[in-house]
Amino acid sequence: MLKIRSEILSIFAFVLVWAGVIGAAAPSPAKAEGWSYNKASFARYLKSMRTRAIRSGVSRAVVDRAFKNLKPNPEVLKLAAFQPEFKLTAWAYLDKTVSDVRIANGKKNYAARRALLDKLEARYGVPKRYIVAIWGLESRYGARKGDLPVIQSLATLGYTGKRKRFGRQQLIAALKILQRRDIPLSQFTGSWAGAMGHTQFIPTTYNAYAVDWTGDGTRDIWNSVPDALASTARYLKVSGWRKGEPWGEEVKIPRNFNTRRAGIKKRKPRRVSEWAKLGVKPIGGGKFRSTRRGAWLLLPSGRRGPAFLVYRNFRTIMRYNNSDKYALAVSYLGDRIIGKPEFRAKWPRSGTPLMLAGRKELQIYLTKLGLYSGEIDGAVGRETEKAIRKFQRSKGLKPDAYPSVELLNRLKSGA
């Protein structure tokens, strides 16, 4: 089975901006990463890519037509510099992606496409609500598919900046799409990262997994909702979706729980029974349905917000976009579409949370005050929380151990 390289997976974490999920302003032109343009050097770059494409089986005529009058687009680099998953809190991200409007439109599309979705679920084993949720997050159910020329965007990424390898690999894959005549060059549009159509496939993913559900001879994810949704369902299936299993469930953790145990990207799963022994319980009380299932503990906002045990299918959603916030948004939106309630625990909307660099700085100042002697790694575990509480008590603050910007500012003045 064809696998997608890690750098391709991670790029999905950025395509939401153009798809309209976040709707935030792009960085200023001065901040476009690595931008420089020399007409002669760009021509040499295109010549080398032309040779590479022809060697991979793309005809000279297709390459020449695609590269005719081609120039890099600095707007692509500005958009590439913005990563919403790293700039927004979990609740701000979910406020944007799982809004009331998106839930309502999801319900309408779920009902209108029910016959198609039933067939897709039967064929691929992926619940229809999550197929619709991905459609909603990626393009607002087809309303924001991206209108940048794919060839220009990928040629720009391949020419300069930090994503040259990705851009060049995807550019060759995009030329192969034109070679097969799945889409005319005039309609070959997408996001700044070359993500395309209703569910925003990048070219290599499209070439490997796109489906011609309608049987008309083309895999038209740009104009055919059936082709796009079938392609998404197939991709999730081959990425490891386990039929009949949940994505996860909301839980509650003990007051003194060591939050260093949480995390998903670099940790092996523990059995649910192990989490239960550590005091993790279903949010609604009672017992877990399965204690043998492997799970990760996800704390999107640390100790003060909702907590989740997430399972293999959650990791499968992350194959679509390598972000736990994205996977949580897909899971949550899908469940809300079929009428499931909001998360029970409330988000800690008071206080501005610190990103990794800020958490490291927090530990440095706690060390200066003699309250912390551990590693400066930005991981807010039991020792860091203990040090924060000592400082908060000394200042007459509520000892909640929440690592906020406001707390860091107080530490700086105290040190």
Residue 60, pLDDT > 70, answer yes
Strand partners, 196: 201
Distant-in-sequence, close-in-space partners of 25: CB < 8 Å, separation ≥ 6? none
Task: Name the pairing type of β-strands 307-310 and 294-298.
Answer: antiparallel
Residue 306, pLDDT > 80, answer yes
SS3 284: coil
- Structure token digits, residue 380: 């807010």
Distant-in-sequence, close-in-space partners of 283: CB < 8 Å, separation ≥ 6? 249, 250, 251, 252, 307, 344, 345
User: Residue 252: phi, psi to the nearest 5?
Assistant: -125, 145
What percentage of the chain has pLDDT greater than the value 70? 89
pLDDT digits 0-9 by tens, 212-270: 999 999 999 999 999 999 999 999 999 999 999 999 999 999 988 988 899 997 679 99
CB 208 within 8 A of CB 176: no
CATH 1.10.101-classified regions of the chain: 356-414
pLDDT digits 0-9 by tens, 126-172: 999 999 999 999 999 999 999 999 999 999 999 998 899 999 999 99
CA angle 360, 364, 370 (to 5 degrees): 140
Q: Which long-range contacts (CB under 8 A, 24 or more apart) does 171-175 make?
A: 171/49, 171/53, 171/203, 172/49, 172/52, 172/53, 172/56, 172/58, 173/202, 173/203, 173/204, 173/206, 173/207, 174/150, 174/203, 175/53, 175/58, 175/62, 175/63, 175/66, 175/151
What's the CA gap between 359 and 260, in Å, rounded? Answer: 14
DSSP-derived letter for residue 26 is P
Residue 22 Cα to chain centre, angstroms: 12
Residue 105, pLDDT > 90, answer yes
Domain 356-414: CATH architecture, name and number where available: Orthogonal Bundle (1.10)
The answer to pTM > 0.85 is no
Identity of the residue numbered 6: S
Strand partners, 373: none
* pLDDT, average across residues 66-75: 96
Cα distances (angstroms) measured from residue 68 to each of 58, 120, 190, 329, 358: 15, 40, 19, 40, 47
pLDDT digits 0-9 by tens, 83-95: 565 567 889 899 9
